[in-house]
């Protein structure tokens, strides 16, 4: 088990019965009387792996027991589909069982943003997050095409900002091509998850319409022929997370179950690539994602990187670099 000692503590617990005890370590009393957005990805249409309403209700009940006023919260997405609009996302949330009647709290979808600058770039953070002093992060840990793994950092870095900021972050991670350095090895085209690149003898072509801006091709190019248009997607992701949570009281819960190859945004995210592990609770987004990754690696070494051709460690290293949190942790099983 990837256990290290350091500044942050992470509590590992094996079932929901222990959740109450874990919360007691993280100043849950300060949530009393506060309106608390519970940041949750409520799943794309046809996705089977997102966090389930029964589990989410359990978390909401715990927050209520602590006298907080929780509500489920998420933002709209940039791509087409139900989650593109507030009305569509609310409809989908209802289809997935996230209703006030079933969960016991309001479900709020909003895409109004407030600009916040981190490391010289501006991110439009959801107004609900900006206006809250206390936030609960409920993150499902799974694979991701652009980040290898999606956990707490991904939940905020992409899920906490407006669709305009989401688009800008992705576009900034598109490749800039330098012909002189290209050896036409084809490695970039091989790993592109969206078939946006075609490489033949002395020919390199990119279909911009298919390019998602994941940056995976840039990592795969060992000749230096590809560079980021603006910045590494995992770097801006860590920065956007910081924009969402800096100066807030945040408790993070990572659900490491139904660990699919791809994210909850993907209708065809399967197969499951690692057996269920459990739940982690922490007050540090970097520590909790590092602990989640270590636990998965203990069971299936480097499975996220192998499945998605990109290292999830980058977001953790960037998170440490910009002061988002610490990858050092002490794992306590309760």
Distance CA 278, CA 255 (A): 6
Q: Which is nearer to ligand SF4, 211 or 239 (CB)?
A: 211
* 49, 81 contact by CB (below 8 A): no
Alpha helices in the chain (DSSP H): 19-23, 53-65, 86-95, 100-103, 127-130, 152-157, 163-171, 187-191, 216-220, 233-245, 285-299, 303-308, 313-321
Query: Of the listed pieces 99-107, 160-168, 189-197, 269-277, which binds ligand SF4 according to CB under 6 A?
Result: 189-197
Q: Which residues make beta-bridge pairs with 251? A: 136
Helix (H) or strand (E) holding 260: strand 259-260
Q: Which of 111, 93, 105 is nearest to 51 (CA)?
A: 93
Q: Which is nearer to ligand SF4, 173 or 254 (CB)?
A: 173
Q: Which is nearer to ligand SF4, 63 or 216 (CB)?
A: 216
Closest CB 202 distance from ligand SF4, rounded Å: 10
Query: Of the listed pieces 13-21, 36-44, 75-83, 212-220, which binds ligand SF4 according to CB under 6 A?
Result: 212-220
271 upstream amide cis, omega within 30 of 0: yes
Strands 107-109 and 8-13: unpaired
Q: Which is nearer to ligand SF4, 55 or 228 (CB)?
A: 228
Query: Three-state DSSP class for 299?
Result: helix
Closest CB 234 distance from ligand SF4, rounded Å: 12
Closest CB 203 distance from ligand SF4, rounded Å: 10
270 binds ligand SF4 (CB under 6 A): no
Task: Report how many residues bind ligand SF4 under the rule CB under 6 A.
Answer: 28
314 binds ligand SF4 (CB under 6 A): no
Q: Which residues of 236-254 are buried (b: 16+ CB within 10 A; e: fewer)?
A: bbbbbbbbbbeeebbbbbb
Q: Which is nearer to ligand SF4, 157 or 213 (CB)?
A: 213
158 binds ligand SF4 (CB under 6 A): no
Q: Which is nearer to ligand SF4, 93 or 199 (CB)?
A: 199
**Segment 217-246, which members bind ligand SF4 (CB under 6 A)?**
217, 220-221, 223, 225-226
User: Which residues in this chain contact ligand SF4 in the complex, by CB under 6 A?
Assistant: 174-175, 182-188, 192, 194, 196-197, 199, 204, 206, 211-217, 220-221, 223, 225-226
């Amino acid at each position: 088990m990837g256990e290290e000692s350091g500044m942050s503590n992470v509590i590992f617990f094996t079932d929901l019965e222990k959740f109450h005890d874990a919360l007691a370590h993280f100043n849950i009393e300060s949530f009393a009387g506060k309106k608390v957005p519970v940041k949750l990805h409520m799943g794309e249409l046809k996705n089977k792996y997102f966090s389930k309403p029964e589990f989410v209700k359990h978390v909401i009940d715990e927050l209520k027991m602590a006298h907080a006023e929780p509500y489920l919260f998420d933002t709209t997405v940039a791509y087409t589909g139900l989650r593109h609009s507030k009305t569509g996302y609310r409809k989908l949330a209802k289809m997935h069982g996230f209703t006030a009647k079933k969960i016991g709290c309001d479900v709020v979808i909003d895409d109004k943003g407030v600009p916040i600058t981190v490391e010289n770039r501006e991110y439009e953070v959801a107004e609900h997050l900006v206006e809250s002093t206390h936030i609960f992060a409920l993150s499902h840990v799974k694979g991701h095409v652009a980040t290898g793994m999606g956990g707490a950092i991904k939940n905020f870095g992409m899920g906490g900002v407006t669709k305009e900021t989401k688009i800008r972050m992705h576009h900034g991670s598109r490749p800039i091509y330098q012909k002189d350095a290209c050896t036409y090895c084809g490695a970039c085209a091989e790993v592109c998850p969206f078939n946006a690149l075609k490489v033949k003898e002395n020919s390199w072509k990119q279909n911009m319409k298919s390019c998602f801006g994941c940056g995976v091709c840039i990592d795969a190019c060992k000749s230096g022929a590809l560079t980021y248009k603006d910045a590494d997607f995992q770097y801006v992701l860590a920065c956007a997370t910081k924009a969402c949570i800096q100066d807030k009281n945040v408790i993070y819960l990572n659900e490491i179950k139904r660990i699919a190859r791809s994210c909850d945004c993907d209708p065809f995210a399967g197969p499951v690539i690692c057996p269920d592990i459990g739940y982690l609770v922490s007050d540090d987004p970097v520590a909790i994602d590092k602990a989640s990754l270590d636990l998965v690696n203990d069971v299936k070494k480097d499975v996220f990187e192998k499945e998605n051709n990109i290292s999830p460690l980058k977001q953790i290293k960037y998170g440490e670099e910009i002061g988002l949190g610490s990858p050092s942790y002490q794992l306590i099983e309760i």
